[in-house]
Amino acid sequence: MGLIIAFTAIAVVNTLAMATSDRAREFALLRLVGTTRRQLFRMLGLETLAVVLVAAVLGTAIAAATLCAFASGMTGGLPHVPPAAYLAVVASAAALALLATFLPARLAPRPPPATTINTRE
């Protein structure tokens, strides 16, 4: 199970890092129209937290539906997950998402915005 979680985490981090890196021209355009780095990072933080919130709600709903059906069929009861363990999983996912978003975003605006905006994708 740990290996599956590790591979999933690597895939998610890789996808988020590539998606953030691909937005370098967008970041350059925002910088050219007057957005500060602080505003840019605040926008990315809010986007990432919204995605984490939606992912946590949908993941919880899907897992609950599946596990409740399985547990009631096998034991006649409902599954139990300690709240601390649930919060640890969600916090770990949020930390990974923020890390995978902010590291590439920190490197993307390094060249001058006018240089970045003129590059081809």
Question: Are 55 and 93 spatial neighbours (Cβ–Cβ below 8 Å)?
Answer: yes
b (16+ CB within 10 A) / e for 62-78: eeeeeeeeeeeeeeeee
SS3 25: helix
pLDDT, tens only, 30-58: 888 998 889 999 999 999 999 999 999 99
The single-letter DSSP state of residue 33 is: T
pTM (two decimals): 0.78
Q: With 70 as the cut, is the pLDDT of residue 109 above it?
A: no
Residues 6 or more apart in contact with residue 102 via CB below 8 angstroms = 41, 44, 45
The candidate with the shortest Cα–Cα distance to 1, out of 66, 95, 89, 79, is: 89
Q: What is the pLDDT of residues 94-107, one digit of tens each?
A: 999 999 888 888 87
| Three-class SS state of 36 | coil
